A and B are shown apart, each in its own frame.
Chain A
């Protein structure tokens, strides 16, 4: 076992995570396709996971990686339920454009 610990500082991981989160925010705010909005939310979840794993490795603590495991389980449940909602919406309105789905708008 002669692994070398990396020389990459923590800030690089945090910067990458921040950039990916912001790209996800752009996608959620600008796209009209509901499925792509969902995928941007997955991207944001993943960037937060990267932050958790980086802090876990730099602190020497397992808890961050356990939290990532639970985030993945919740993301799987969220994706399944969200896609089922999109299928139900598509049955009713024949569209996934979030501008046309305004039935709950007051």
Chain B
């Protein structure tokens, strides 16, 4: 057990804990804040994987932009505690928990069987592929068409959001 493995387990435990707290929290604002904690933990794990660009983008775009949008909408709608939304049917909840346990088992088996043997060490190229330089290079050469289409998608999203949120139906 060296320092890095202990660090990974600490971050993983806090990511899982914040995800569970996010799901179980009654107040939506606390839920958003726990999700932001989870995103920061994920950014640290990306740093362990030498993906610096993705880690920074994770904090800037997810924790910075998307979650602020969520917080803004929750405060705009003035959603308080979820006390009125008490679930009457608890059997549905238990069915849902069993189902997601089955999903977890399936993913574990599906991911564990083919990749359980090899891949004990990271590829030696991992250090240089996560940099802004290498990602930017392949983004602007090999993946230039998807990149431009993404900009069209964002434009469509902007127009759609304005139409949806402005109109009085």
Contacts and interface: CB of A to CB of B under 8 A. Distances in A.
A26 interface: yes
Given A14-B112, A22-B100, A75-B66, A57 B38 contact: no
A97 B120 CA distance: 46
Interface range on chain A (Cβ under 8 Å from partner): 35 or more
A27 B18 CA distance: 13
Given A19-B16, A22-B103, A79-B66, A72 B49 contact: no
Interface in B133-169: 134-135, 138-139, 143, 146, 150, 153-154, 156-158, 160-161, 164-165, 167-169
Interface in B81-111: 82, 84-85, 87, 92-93, 96-97, 99-101, 103-104, 107-108, 111
A86 B28 CA distance: 14
Interface range on chain B (Cβ under 8 Å from partner): 35 or more
Main secondary structure of the interface of A (DSSP, over half): helix
Contacts of B28: 33, 35-36
Interface string A4-40: 1111111111111011111111110111110110111
A13 B127 contact: no
B87 A73 contact: no
Interface of A: 1, 3-16, 18-27, 29-33, 35-36, 38-40, 42-43, 46, 49-51, 53-54, 56-63, 65-66, 68-70, 72-77, 79-81, 83-88, 90-92, 96-97, 99
